[in-house]
Structures are given as C-alpha cells and as structure tokens.
C-alpha cells in the first residue's frame, strides 16, 4: 500500500485549511481537530500515512498525548511527525524531540518553506524505510540459505556417521559422546574465554563437525584399526597417523565454497591429534596455531578413549583418566583446555558413569542455530 496521505492535526480550522491548500494537489489529506481524533485517524490506517502535522496544544488530548500513543504503537519510526506550534518553549521543543518528532515549525509559517521541509522529511523516511525493507529481505534470504546449509550439514554428518559405524570404525555411541563432550567444553569456552569469539551458531557447527574427526579411518585397513597402539609396528603407526590427512582428502569432495562448517570439519579432522607443545601430528603445530575447536575435540577424544572399553583394552576409571590427562601422559594440552576439563569434570564423570543414558536427548538441547 502506498504511503500517500498527510494527516493535519490542529484545533484551529484556518490552520488546517492553510496546510491542506499546500499539499492537497500532491497528497491525500486527512484532518483532525484534537488529539483524540488524531489518534483515531492514525489507528484506522497507519500504513498510508507519509507525514503528520501535529499541533502541540489542543483540547481533549494534546500533541504530546498523540506522540505517546505513537510511541506505544511503534509508529514514530515509520511515520514522520512535524510539530506545528505558536506557543513554543525550549522545554516543549526538547520534549517533542525526545518523543521523536522530525521537525518543529512555528506559526505563522511560509507555504514554500513548509512544502520543502515536508518533502525532504518524507523522502528521507521513504529512503530509510526502503533500506530497512531491503535489509530485512536480505536477512531473510541469508537465513534461508543458512537453514538449507544446516540441513545439508546435518545430512552429511548423519550419512558419514552411519557409514563410519557400518564399517566398524567407530561406534555410534562414541560419536554421540564426542559431540556431547564437545558441546560441554564449548559451553565453558564461550562463558570463560570470549576471546575466541565462538557464537552459538558456530558452536552448533563445531559440535556437528566433531562427529567427523576420524573420517579418515575409511582409508585404513580394518586389521590395522583393531590393533592396540602398543602393538603397531613403526610402519603401521606411520600409516595410522595418516588418517588425519586421508580424512581431509575425503572432506574436500564435499567442500562447499566459503563454508564455515567445512572449515571446522577440516580443522578438526586434520588437527585433533596435534598437541600444545608441538609433539602431535600431522603438522606438529603448537600453541594457539592449533584451532581451538580442534583442541577441544583432541582432549575429549583422549578422555573418551581412556574411559571406554575397546576390543584390545579395558577402560580406565574416570579419576585415573583425569590424572593421566592432567599429568600430561596423553600429550600436552593448553591451559585453557585443562581449565575447561576441570570445569566440566563433574558433568563428564556423571555422563561416563551413567553410561551416557542422557546423551541422545542432549543432542537436541543447547545451542540455537
């Protein structure tokens, strides 16, 4: 609907007629003789109003009462108001501007000046509202794209996770635990380490990406995967370590241009065996060169391996796993990761000793995207 109507509010008919004569050739004109009539006119069809001329002092309800109504209805941002007054004070002018009027014109006024100031304000509001409408539409389209991307990401994660499970590379329980533990660590990173700038949307991506940390094991023979670490020959250990590289090569086949999610998947897949002191693999990164999301998956993967039963080992008690991690027996982790481990310890232990009975439910809780 076009904004083509000017509302003139003044208790003096002669003032209304004067303003009407200035604008009636170019605009539809409505009139109101007091504040209550003005409120009624505005409420009838606010979307058609492109400008309101509003007297300050009127019977029944004043111009300020009309402005109060417009504020309550969130109309002062979409309908410009020019206050017209013959008895102005600094206090009343300041109050009018506080309410959001666009301009104040003092009686008596010159027709050509009123026309020019009114048209400038109308054009300014039309331009601003047009920009806001474009921004809303662009935001809506971006949200649609993000929603489709998230659906695509979810499909990819579920498909690859199922494939990992079917090949017996990792159990579905392990994947769910890694996602849950990653979510848990992210909660504390967001709360206590805002320097990393991880938003809720990014955290949701990171949790999903964590499920693909060992996707590179597809490229390894099952006989190798079933061996304990201390049973591997030097060549076998070297080949086992290449699963980080193989995983990245596989992910490249699913790469989406400028995808934040892909970058998290890539970083986690490649760097989740790096260690804070540079002793990890495959690139021997150290310190903050290791992305924080890869550091998170690194420590939770170690913890889960320690406390989980495998065909080649029995699980450690949670307190023993804690001791080994804090003592550096499983590689060096950053002070932030060890701090988060301490913060999350009670929840980690509860999940582990409760046999992860609530992890399926938790997958649907937490971060909003």
The string of pLDDT tens digits covering residues 52-104 is 999 988 989 999 999 999 999 999 989 999 998 877 678 878 888 888 899 99
Cα–Cα nearest to 44, from 13, 5, 12: 5
pLDDT tens digits for range 148-184 = 666 656 656 666 666 665 555 556 678 889 999 999 9
| Residue 165 host element (H or E) | helix 111-166
Check whether domain 167-362 has CATH 3.40.50.1010, yes or no: no
| Start-end of CATH 3.40.50.2300 domains in the chain | 5-136
Residue 49 β-bridge partners: 5
Name the more confident of 361 and 88. 88
**Mean pLDDT value of segment 351-362:** 59
Residue range(s) in the chain whose domain bears CATH number 1.10.3210.10 = 167-362
Three-state secondary structure along 47-113?
A: HHEEEEEEECCCCCCCHHHHHHHHHHCCCCCCCCEEEEECCCCHHHHHHHHHHCCCEEEECCCCHHH
Greater confidence (104 vs 231) lies with 104
pLDDT at residue number 174: 82
* Mean per-residue pLDDT, 260-282: 94
Predicted pLDDT of residue 360: 44
Pick the CATH number of 5-136 from 3.90.550.10, 3.30.1330.40, 1.10.3720.10, 3.40.50.2300: 3.40.50.2300
Q: Look at 56-60, 138-142, 149-153, 343-347 and tell me which has the smallest mean pLDDT.
A: 149-153
Alpha carbons 365 and 357: distance in angstroms, whole number: 15
Q: Please, which pLDDT band fits residue 364 given cuts at 50, 70 and 90?
A: very low
Residue 362 has pLDDT above 60, yes or no: no
Q: DSSP 3-state assignment of 66?
A: helix
């Amino acid at each position: 609907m076009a904004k083509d109507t000017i509302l003139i509010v003044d208790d003096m008919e002669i003032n209304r007629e004067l303003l009407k004569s200035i604008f009636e050739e170019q605009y539809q004109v409505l009139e109101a003789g007091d504040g209550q009539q003005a409120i009624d006119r505005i409420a009838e069809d606010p979307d058609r109003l492109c400008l309101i001329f509003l007297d300050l002092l009127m019977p029944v309800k004043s111009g300020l009462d009309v402005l109060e109504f417009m504020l309550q209805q969130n109309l002062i941002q979409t309908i410009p108001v020019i206050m017209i007054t013959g008895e102005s004070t600094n206090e009343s002018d300041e109050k009018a501007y506080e309410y959001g009027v666009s301009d104040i014109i003092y009686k008596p006024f010159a027709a050509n000046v009123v026309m020019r100031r009114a048209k400038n304000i109308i054009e300014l509001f039309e331009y601003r509202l047009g920009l806001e409408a474009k921004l809303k539409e662009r935001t809506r389209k971006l949200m649609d794209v993000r929603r489709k991307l998230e659906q695509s990401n979810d499909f990819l994660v579920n498909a690859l996770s199922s494939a990992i499970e079917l090949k017996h590379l990792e159990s579905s329980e392990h994947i769910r635990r890694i996602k849950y533990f990653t979510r848990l660590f992210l909660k504390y990173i967001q709360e206590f380490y805002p320097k990393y700038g991880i938003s809720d949307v990014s955290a949701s991506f990171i949790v999903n990406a964590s499920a693909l940390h060992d996707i590179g094991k597809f490229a390894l023979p099952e006989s190798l995967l079933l061996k304990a670490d201390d049973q591997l020959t030097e060549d076998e250990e070297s080949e086992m370590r290449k699963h980080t590289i193989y995983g990245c090569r596989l992910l490249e086949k699913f790469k989406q241009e400028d995808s934040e999610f892909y970058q998290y998947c890539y970083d986690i897949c490649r760097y989740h065996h790096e260690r804070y002191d540079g002793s990890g693999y495959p690139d021997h990164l150290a310190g903050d060169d290791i992305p924080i999301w890869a550091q998170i998956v690194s420590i939770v993967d170690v913890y889960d391996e320690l406390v989980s039963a495998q065909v080649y080992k029995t699980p450690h008690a949670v307190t023993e796993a804690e001791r080994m991690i804090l003592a550096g027996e499983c590689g060096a982790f950053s002070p932030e990761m060890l701090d988060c481990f301490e913060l999350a310890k009670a929840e980690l232990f509860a999940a582990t000793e409760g046999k992860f009975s609530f992890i399926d439910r938790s997958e649907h809780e937490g971060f909003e995207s």
